Structure 1
Amino acid sequence: MKSKIILIFISVLALILSIITEIRMVNFKNYSQKQINRLSNELNQKNSQLEKDINQMNSYFKPNGLVEKYIVSNSLLKKQMDDLDKILTQLQSEDRTGYIQIYIIGSKDVWSSFKDNNGKYLFQGNLTPGLNPYKFYFFKSPNIKTDYTYIIPYNSSFKSGDPSKVFFLIQEPGQSRLLKHPDINIQNISKDLNLYIPTITGN
């Protein structure tokens, strides 16, 4: 009789434990499902936001988009600033200064440079056909310094990739003249271009 009671008790206890375990499993399953759903929703939201961001970025790079407008605006602003520099450079009253401008004939760019007597480049670059806007001051300084004004020593050297295409527009105190590149290497612009510099030549 006792053994039957013990068996019944064990059976009931096992059933109770089984039910408790099942309940825990169901609760754990429900909790896990909720977590999965929450993470899935968060992931979907992030994916949706990422797609919006990508679409917005793509719209920036479309024709007439923000990036193109920025590039165009920046180019226009740079051109306007360059034009302003050119205007300021050309409008200066310079009867008492001495400077050189370079005129390139033909249809191709010509590389040209000025160096000081230590061999340091003061200017170098490809100059376009026609009268270039750069002014190289060998006597006194410009009233307004711009990106197109350079101050060079009177004993600077000049070199060109094609001297036959180079003419010098020389502004000296009280006079101006046009001079073709001489058939020599220009080691000293004052001597080789016969520049009039009151404080040096004394004329």
Structure 2
Amino acid sequence: MNMSKDSFKNLFSTFLLIASVIAFSFSIFSIMKLDGFEERLNALELSTSEKIDKLSKGLNEEIGAIKRLISGGGVIEKYLVARNFLENSENDLRLILTELQENPERPYFRIFVAGSSEVWIGFKNNAKDKKYVYQKNFKPGLSEEKFFYLKAPLLETGYTVTLTKDTYIRTAMPDSVYLLFFGFNSAKIVKMPDIEVNNISRDFNLYVPGK
């Protein structure tokens, strides 16, 4: 049976209509799918942006805290100043306590270095000892140390040194070294006669009770 032209046209029109509906449906589906993807993308972008902002804020806070610590007047500076103050105070206190020890029955001597150069001086309890009980390079001027040669000091500090009446002294530059003796309500100053003194009591004619 032959199809008339009108029937063919109707069939073709119906096909086009169905195809258009299907195409439109796919378009709507694609648009909806694209909208959903865009929403997820926007949500991801927002979440990422919030995380970056939070991280940036945290870093800025840490940087600010570090700046406050190391800046002038910051915690670290205050700590260093306080520590330096305490160390200096401790040294000064030890020096003050050393200076306050004036007991006629506990004689001592101090070193005075003339000139502008440091001078090495070593001390032994007696000339036969092989080991120095105290030695250092003394700066020009009066020593901070007090060397007690009969009795130990009433209070030990970093500036008190206990020796014996038979103390042996050696120095590299005797012409620059003087000893100032204090005790028994008297004082005397002597110059190192040579690079060594074998016995301070005998060589400097010091008063020793009982002898």
* Alignment deviations for residues 125-176 of structure 1 (CA, whole Å, 9 cap, x no partner): 32331x3231111211111222221112444432334211111112355643
Aligned partner of 1:114 in structure 2 is: 123
How do 1:93-172 residues align onto structure 2 when only pairs under 5 Å count? Answer: 93-116=102-125, 117-129=129-141, 131-172=142-183
| Cα 1:189–1:85 shift into 2, 3 Å | same
Name the aligned partner's letter for residue 159 of structure 1.
R
Q: Give 5+ residue unaligned stretches, structure 2.
A: 1-10
How do 1:42-53 residues align onto structure 2 when only pairs under 5 Å count? Answer: 42-53=54-65
- Give, in whole Å, the separation in 2 of the partners of 1:123 and 1:184: 14
Residues 139, 154 of structure 1: 8 Å contact kept: yes
Name the aligned partner's letter for residue 137 of structure 1.
F
- Give, in whole Å, the separation in 2 of the partners of 1:148 and 1:181: 22
- 3-state SS, counterpart of residue 106 of structure 1: coil
- 3-state SS, counterpart of residue 98 of structure 2: helix
- Pick from 5, 30, 39: which aligns with 1:27? 39
Q: Which is further off, 97-106 or 152-161?
A: 152-161
Displacement of 1:182 in angstroms is 1.6
- 3-state SS, counterpart of residue 113 of structure 1: strand
Number of residue equivalences: 193
- Give, in whole Å, the separation in 2 of the partners of 1:127 and 1:146: 20
| Cα 1:87–1:40 shift into 2, 3 Å | closer
Please, what is the CA RMSD of the aligned residues?
3.6
Name the aligned partner's letter for residue 118 of structure 2.
D
- Give, in whole Å, the separation in 1 of the partners of 2:58 and 2:98: 56
Aligned partner of 2:192 in structure 1 is: 181
Name the aligned partner's letter for residue 110 of structure 2.
Q
Higher Rg of the two aligned structures: 2
| Cα 1:38–1:196 shift into 2, 3 Å | same
- Give, in whole Å, the separation in 1 of the partners of 2:180 and 2:100: 16
TM-score, normalising length from structure 2?
0.68
Residues 167, 181 of structure 1: 8 Å contact kept: yes
- Pick from 39, 43, 52: which aligns with 1:40? 52
Displacement of 1:31 in angstroms is 1.9
| Cα 1:71–1:34 shift into 2, 3 Å | closer
- 3-state SS, counterpart of residue 139 of structure 1: coil
Q: Which is further off, 182-191 or 12-21?
A: 12-21
TM-score, normalising length from structure 1?
0.70
| Cα 1:137–1:19 shift into 2, 3 Å | same
